[in-house]
Structures are given as structure tokens and as C-alpha cells.
Amino acid sequence: MTDLVSNGGRFAAITQRPPRPEAVVAAHTRRRYVRERRFKLIGMSAVIVAISLLAILLATVLSNGAGAFRQSYAVLDVRLDPAQIDPSGNRDPEVLADADYQAVLNDALVAAFPDMDDRQGRRALRAMLSNSSALQLRQMVLDDPALIGSTVPVRFLLDDERDQYLKGEVDPSIPEANRRLKDRDIALVDRLAEQGRIETGFNWTLFTNADSREPEQAGLRAALVGSFWMMLICFFLSVPVGVAAAVYLEEFAPKNRWIDLIEVNVNNLAAVPSIVFGLLGLAIFLNLFGVPRSASLAGGLTLALMTLPVIIVVTRAALRSIPPSIRAAALGIGASPLQVVFHHVLPLALPGILTGTIIGMARALGETAPLLMIGMVAFIANVPSGPLDPATALPVQVFLWSDSPERAFTERMAAAIIVLLGFLIAMNVIAVLLRKKFERTW
Amino acid sequence: MATAIKVNELPKTEVPAAQRPAPKMSARKVNLWYGQKQALFDVDLDVAKNSVVALIGPSGCGKSTFLRCLNRMNDTIDGCRTQGDIRLDDRDIYDRSVDVVQLRRQVGMVFQKPNPFPKSIYENVAYGPRIHGLAANKAEFDEIVETSLKGAGLWNEVADRLSQPGNSLSGGQQQRLCIARAIAVAPDVILMDEPCSALDPIATAKIEELIDELRQHFTICIVTHNMQQAARVSQKTAFFHLGKLIEFGDTDQIFTNPKQQMTQDYITGRFG
């Protein structure tokens, strides 16, 4: 000890080193701080860029799509003339179903606009309402035959072009030849508005109807139901299989070359482009097993294939994060390996597995490419009643509507994106909340 | 190797073989490899019933490895290979007919870092009896939990909060909870792998007292880095170095009059 102090010993090189000039040290320190500030600035600007891009995206989608949640209706007083609908008067449903409701509707329109009672005028009046209006009347009468003989105010869907005009999307100052809505049609809508026959309400059609050629009748129901079935099938297929595979690989499998090979391949599968899974689904589920084309079952199976490797990877990560001391504790009092996994490791890993699963499912919900491969891009005008019926999915509906020239479809496409984003945000929020709730410190 | 044989001969010279009680556990010629690396060399060691055997030695000397042979915890390590003869009540525990799960019920273990399950205090203690089917109804479980916690000297501190998570206890309490969990399945032998190394001196003193009480009913094998602790709690001490058992004998003799120069050097702090 004394030796070391007296002649420096092996610490001499350290303690007796001449100090660097203070200015040099200060400059060095300053440079360090400058670097730190610069890095913070870069990081912050990166975050700002990302957030503003996201904000632009959301703002665009919202401003484009908000209009689709409102729909204009024309309210007409319809006289349900017994002579026109049910001449015999015995309320036979077959007779009621066969009656000429278009004529009833025409009469109601002409009653509102007496000056238009010529061929061209009647056509212009008819074009004002959605082409489903006569069917709507028919359904109304069939539901309640007691209405026959009275005059009732009925709310009809306004045609999409007129709806767009009322929302201010059609500019009347454009030369008439360059717009689909002619001056005469615009004048008619204006007169309808003057008469107080225009009502604006929430566009329930968007959620109750399937796709349609007429934008005002088009809705997301087929896509919502299709996406629901696909998520259900995907979840119940990929989660049990994925978790079982991950538990085996992580907890039971011997560590050898084969398992390494499987691991590499699973990780690769998780990164395979989704369109490839679509091709696989097409080849296996449609061509080999004969699953109906465009059915939710085919879509769900294909999405399950795609989600499976993701679930395996996240489950393995969750299992690996459970400290070995828990396994040792359970083994130490005589739990069998299976009991260790099912009593301790798996329950503790569950929040992580759940979070990963939700994120994987959210990815599957937004997936379009593989569904295009298995024919889910078809025009689906009926709401599917089961997983074997032709269906479509939310992102595919977005894709379909983005292809349509009508302005009203553009609006509905943005609305579909809002609905899709709503689901995705909800799923991710649930994932974050679950993680927060079950987060554990060891 | 000569040392080990010599040590094993020691008691014979003092007590005639017929009068000596059979050891609870005995190990003969235990060799162990982690992959290519040999970690234990021909270890011979006897653990007498109702006694405490302390395993001491520098880090990496194989004392924990040897301890984990006694309840076959090394089986769970990939590439670990054990050779030799380890007997519990004169029955080879590495025999094919031995069920590892039952063996670990008989030979319990307490780990270095307190590792209660992230469940309630009650569930921590009741888990072992539950998986081994040791209790038939709630009343019996309650009884086992209470006696085990009393056995571990924890009952008075936790009796009114059995449903709280085991992790909410202090470090020393957690370790006693782990001891309660180990004794809940009524083992014959309790292995302790440096049970106090993560605890403060007061918690350590409590555990040491507890070990002394536990000795009346269980056989204990404890690994420790703390030589005072070995001297305080054990009747026999084994000194390991580089995977070899250098000296094994009565604790008094090891600490006051070691036969090997290496043991002498280690306990006086000249290396380690």
C-alpha cells in the first residue's frame, strides 16, 4: 500500500499524467453537447414529419369521406290509390306484389310538379329519385296493406348526382356539356328544396346495404359481414395452431438442426409477401379442396395461413420473455413440463400473445392482395348469410369503389376507409390497453 | 481423488459401520459434462438424515451443479450429461423406474433468487400439494398452507393477507415463502442454492435460524458463498474446487483443522 503511494507504482501512469489544457477539455465537452442537441433535433423532426404525414392522410380521408355519412332524401306525399294497387280489394299479397308501383310513384311526382306532366318531364322527375324507390313503395305496402287508400309522406333516396349537388360537390358554373347533371335537373332539385321536400339524414344505407351499381344504394354490409367471417375463421384457425406450434418449438422441441431449420423457415414465412399466400390459397383451398370461390371461408383460410407465422413468432417472443426462474420454481416442486407450461409459462405469456395476435389480426383485416387472388374482388350485391356465401372484405370494397368514376363512390370509398381505420385503431388500442393492464415487472 | 476416498473412510474409523445410520442421500463417482466440458469429477458425498451439509468453494467450482444433480434439475439443461450413482434412501435416482416428478417432490429446492409464482401467497404454497394431489378438500389445503407457512416462520406476517400476490412481500419474506412452498409437499430433502445471497443480514439471520429448525424434520443440503454461514448452519461441510470434491468432513473440523492445504487457503481467504 505505502509502496504504491510513495513511488506511484502501477497507478503512476494514471495519477501522474499531465492534465489536458482546460480550453481543450471545454471545447470537447461543448462538441458533445452540440452533438446531443443535433441528434435530439433530428429525432424530433423525424417524429414531426411522421405525425404531419399521418395528419394529412387522416384529414384527407375524413374530409373526403365525411359527406358519405349524410344522405339527402326527397319526401313526397304518395297517394296509395286502391284502384291502382288492389282493384279487387281483397288484399291478396300476390296482387299487391304485382301492382305497378312505378305508376304510383310517377303520380306522386307529378302531383308535386304539375307542370312536368309530359314524357320528358316525367323521365326527369323519375331520374331525381333512386331507382329503388318503386320497390321501396312495394315493400312498404306489403308490410302494411292497411296503408292502401291513404296518402302518406314517404322518404325516398335522392339520386347520387342530385345528392352530390346538394352537398355542393357539383359546380353549376361549369358549362352544361361538361357535367352529368344538366341545368334542368339542377332546377328541379332546387324547386324540390324550395318546396321543403328535401331532408338530410344519417346514411344508414351505408351500413345496411351491400354493394350496388347505384352509389346512393351502395353499402358496406357485405364487406363488413365478409370481414367478420374471415376474422373469425382466421382467429380460430391461426391462434390455436400458432400458439401450439410456438409452445412446442419453445418449450419442448429438442435443440437440433431440424428445429433450427424450422425456425428459419417460420421467420421467413412471416415476411413472405401476402400475394404469395393468396396464390397458395388459390391453389390449395380453391383448386384442391374446392372451397367456393369468393367465399369468406376461402378468405379466412388464406388469411389464417398468412397470420400463422406472425402468431408463432410473437408467441415465441412472449414465451421467451418469461424468466427461467419461474420454470425452475415449478420444476423444483415437481411440476411436469406440461404443467410448467400450462400452469405458469403460458398464462404469464398470455398478454404478450394476445397483443401480438391482435396486431396480426389487424394486419389480416387490412389485407387486400391475397383476397384478390381468390376472387373476393367480385361485385357482391347480396349480404352474405354464412361463410360459404360470396362475400367481400372492407379493404377490397375500398379497392372496388376507388375504381368507380362516380363522385359519390369516391366519397363512399373514403367512408369505407374511415370505417376500416376505425376498426384497426380500435384493435390496436385494445392491444395497448391489454399490455398496460397485464404488464408485469419481475 | 485420494482425498475423497480418505474422507469417506473417516467416519468408519470413528464409528463401526453397523452402528452408522444409512445416509439419506449418497453420491458415488459422479461425473458431469456440459457438452464437451466436464464440470464434476468423481464426486463422492453422503448426506446424513436430519443434518445440514454445506457445499462451499469458489465460483464455478461445481457445487451448484452437484446440488442440482440431487433432484435431477440438470436434466432440463441441454447437453448436460450425468454419470455415476446417486441414491436417495438407497434407491438410484437416475434409474429408469424413477419418476422425476416424484423425485422432485421428495427432494425439494430453494433457489438463489426468491422466485415465488406471480400468484397469491396461498396459491404459492397450495400449488405443490395441488399438482401432487396431496389434499382432498379446501380444509385440507388450508391446513397444509397454514402449517407450511408456520414451518417457514412466515405465518404471523402473512396470515391476514394470504390472497395478496407473493411478489408483494419483501425479499426475505419471499424466500421464506419459497421455503414454505418447498416444504408444503412434505419432501425428505431440501436443496438450497445460496438461499441468502440476495438478502440483507437480518433476513439472512432469519433464514439461518429457520434452517436450523428445519433440520429436525428434513435433510438439508445448502450451497453457500458465505463461510460463516456454512459454519453456523451445517454439521458437515464439503469443499469443492474446479469440479472436484477436495475435502468433506465435520464442519468444525473443516473450519478449525482442515486436512487439505487448499481448504485451509480457501477458508482463510487466501484464494477464491
Judge contact between B72 and B81, C-beta under 8 A.
Answer: no
| Chain B interface includes A331 (CB < 8 A) | yes
Residues B185, B100, B118, CA angle at the centre, nearest 5°? 50
Q: What letter would DSSP give residue A258? A: H
Q: Is the pLDDT of residue B239 over 90?
A: yes
In the prediction, which pLDDT does A437 show? 84
Task: Give the long-range contacts of residues B183-186, CB within 8 A, separation 24 or more.
Answer: B183/B108, B183/B148, B183/B151, B183/B152, B183/B214, B183/B218, B184/A333, B184/B125, B184/B126, B184/B128, B184/B129, B184/B144, B184/B145, B184/B148, B185/A333, B185/A334, B185/B105, B185/B108, B185/B128, B185/B129, B185/B132, B185/B134, B186/B134
Verify whether the Cβ–Cβ distance B111 to A343 is below 8 Å: no
Q: Residue B199: which CATH number?
A: 3.40.50.300
What ranges do the domains of chain A cover? 11-65, 70-207, 221-438
Interface probe, candidates A333, A346, A348, A438, chain B, greatest B C-beta count within 10 A: A333
Residue B194's pLDDT band (cuts 50, 70, 90): very high
Judge contact between B166 and B138, C-beta under 8 A.
Answer: no
Q: How far does the CA of residue A227 sit from the closest CA of chain B (Å)?
A: 38
Verify whether the Cβ–Cβ distance A343 to B131 is below 8 Å: yes
Query: If you count them, how many residues does chain A have?
Result: 442
In the prediction, which pLDDT does B1 show? 37
In the prediction, which pLDDT does A169 show? 86
Which residues neighbour A302 within 8 Å (Cβ) at sequence distance 6 or greater?
Answer: A277, A278, A280, A281, A285, A370, A371, A373, A374
pLDDT in tens, B131-166: 999 989 999 999 999 999 999 999 999 999 999 999
The DSSP H or E segment spanning B171 is helix B171-183
Q: Is residue B143 included in any domain, yes or no?
A: no
Q: Which residues of chain B make contact with A438, given a CB cutoff of 8 A?
A: none
Q: Which residues of chain A make contact with B71, given a CB cutoff of 8 A?
A: 332
Return the residue of B nearest to A345 by Cα: B117
Q: Which residues of chain B make contact with A326, given a CB cutoff of 8 A?
A: 115, 117-118
Verify whether the Cβ–Cβ distance A325 to B101 is below 8 Å: no
Residue B93's pLDDT band (cuts 50, 70, 90): very high
**pTM confidence score:** 0.83
What one-letter code names the amino acid at A283? A
For residue B81, give its domain range.
2-11+25-115+188-267
Q: How far does the CA of residue A435 sit from the closest CA of chain B (Å)?
A: 17
Distances in Å between the Cα of A369 and the Cα atoms of A177, A311, A436, B89 are 39, 20, 33, 67
Which residues neighbour A233 within 8 Å (Cβ) at sequence distance 6 or greater?
Answer: A296, A297, A299, A300, A301, A303, A304, A387
In the prediction, which pLDDT does A6 show? 53
Grid coordinates of B129: 400439494
Verify whether the Cβ–Cβ distance A328 to B101 is below 8 Å: no
- Alpha helices by DSSP H, listed for B226-260, are 227-233, 251-256
Cα(A36)–Cα(A50) distance, integer angstroms: 21
Verify whether the Cβ–Cβ distance A332 to B78 is below 8 Å: no
Distances in Å between the Cα of A120 and the Cα atoms of A117, A125, A185, A191, B207 are 8, 9, 12, 17, 101
Residue B66's pLDDT band (cuts 50, 70, 90): very high
Judge contact between A353 and A345, C-beta under 8 A.
Answer: no
| Chain A interface includes B115 (CB < 8 A) | yes
Verify whether the Cβ–Cβ distance A331 to B127 is below 8 Å: no
Counting beta carbons within 10 angstroms of the beta carbon of residue A322, is it exposed (0 to 12), middle (13 to 18) or buried (19 or more)? buried
Residue B40, SS3?
A: strand
Q: Is residue B234 included in any domain, yes or no?
A: yes
Judge contact between A300 and A308, C-beta under 8 A.
Answer: no
Grid coordinates of B170: 419483501
Q: How far does the CA of residue B231 sit from the closest CA of chain A (Å)?
A: 26
* CATH number corresponding to A221-438: 1.10.3720.10
Could you write out the DSSP letters of every residue in A5-17? HHH-GGGHHHHTS
Q: How far does the CA of residue A293 sit from the closest CA of chain B (Å)?
A: 49
ipTM of the complex: 0.86
| Chain A interface includes B111 (CB < 8 A) | yes
Nearest to A334 among B110, B118, B132 (CB): B132
Cα(A202)–Cα(A69) distance, integer angstroms: 6
Verify whether the Cβ–Cβ distance A255 to B78 is below 8 Å: yes
| Chain A interface includes B117 (CB < 8 A) | yes
Return the residue of B nearest to A325 by Cα: B115
| Chain B interface includes A243 (CB < 8 A) | no
Could you write out the DSSP letters of every residue in A386-418? STTSB---HHHHHHHHHT---HHHHHHHHHHHH
How crowded is residue B260: how many other Cβ atoms within 10 Å of its Cβ?
17
pLDDT in tens, A292-333: 988 999 999 999 999 999 999 999 999 999 999 999 999 999
| Chain B interface includes A343 (CB < 8 A) | yes
Nearest to A334 among B78, B104, B110 (CB): B104
Distance of CA A7 to the CA centre of its chain: 77
Grid coordinates of A325: 426462474
Verify whether the Cβ–Cβ distance B118 to A343 is below 8 Å: no
In the prediction, which pLDDT does B8 show? 41
Query: If you count them, how many residues does chain B have?
Result: 272
Judge contact between A220 and A422, C-beta under 8 A.
Answer: no
Cα(A288)–Cα(A267) distance, integer angstroms: 26
Q: Which residues pair with B239 in a beta bridge?
A: B56, B247
Q: Using N-to-C axis directions, what is the helix angle for A221-247 and A346-365, rounded to 10°? A: 150
Among residues A161, A164, A197, A204, the alpha carbon closest in space to that of A64 is found at A164
- Kindly state the greatest CA–CA separation across chain B: 57
Return the residue of B nearest to A254 by Cα: B78
Cα(B123)–Cα(B270) distance, integer angstroms: 46
Verify whether the Cβ–Cβ distance A326 to B117 is below 8 Å: yes
pLDDT in tens, B98-138: 999 999 999 999 999 999 999 999 999 999 999 999 989 99
Grid coordinates of B34: 456440459
Verify whether the Cβ–Cβ distance A343 to B127 is below 8 Å: yes
Judge contact between A374 and A285, C-beta under 8 A.
Answer: yes
In the prediction, which pLDDT does A441 show? 59
Reported in sequence order, the residue ranges of chain B that DSSP labels E, i.e. its strands, are 25-34, 37-47, 52-56, 80-88, 91-92, 107-110, 189-193, 219-223, 236-241, 244-250
Verify whether the Cβ–Cβ distance B109 to A255 is below 8 Å: no
Residue A88, SS3?
A: coil
Judge contact between B109 and B187, C-beta under 8 A.
Answer: no
In the prediction, which pLDDT does B181 show? 95
Verify whether the Cβ–Cβ distance B115 to A326 is below 8 Å: yes
Q: Is the pLDDT of residue B16 over 70?
A: no
Nearest to B181 among A327, A333, A348 (CB): A333
Residue B183, SS3?
A: helix
Query: Which B residues in the span 45-74 are in contact with A, Cβ-Cβ below 8 Å?
Result: 71, 73
| Chain A interface includes B185 (CB < 8 A) | yes
Cα(B251)–Cα(A263) distance, integer angstroms: 51
Judge contact between B208 and B173, C-beta under 8 A.
Answer: no
| Regions in chain A scoring below 50 on pLDDT | 1-4
Residue A99, SS3?
A: coil
| Chain B interface includes A344 (CB < 8 A) | yes
Query: Which A residues in the span 94-153 are in contact with B, Cβ-Cβ below 8 Å?
Result: none
Among residues A44, A41, A21, A45, the alpha carbon closest in space to that of A33 is found at A41
Residue B20's pLDDT band (cuts 50, 70, 90): low
Q: Which residues of chain B make contact with A254, given a CB cutoff of 8 A?
A: 78
Verify whether the Cβ–Cβ distance B185 to A333 is below 8 Å: yes
- Kindly state the greatest CA–CA separation across chain A: 128
Residue B19's pLDDT band (cuts 50, 70, 90): low
Reported in sequence order, the residue ranges of A185-335 that DSSP labels E, i.e. its strands, are 198-202
pLDDT in tens, B204-223: 999 999 999 999 999 999 99
The more confidently predicted of residues B39 and B8 is B39
How crowded is residue A86: how many other Cβ atoms within 10 Å of its Cβ?
19
In the prediction, which pLDDT does B33 show? 94
- Total domains, chain B: 1
Reported in sequence order, the residue ranges of A37-88 that DSSP labels E, i.e. its strands, are 70-79
Cα(A326)–Cα(B115) distance, integer angstroms: 6
Q: Is residue B140 included in any domain, yes or no?
A: no
In the prediction, which pLDDT does A375 show? 87
Cα(B85)–Cα(B44) distance, integer angstroms: 9
Return the residue of A nearest to B119 by Cα: A344
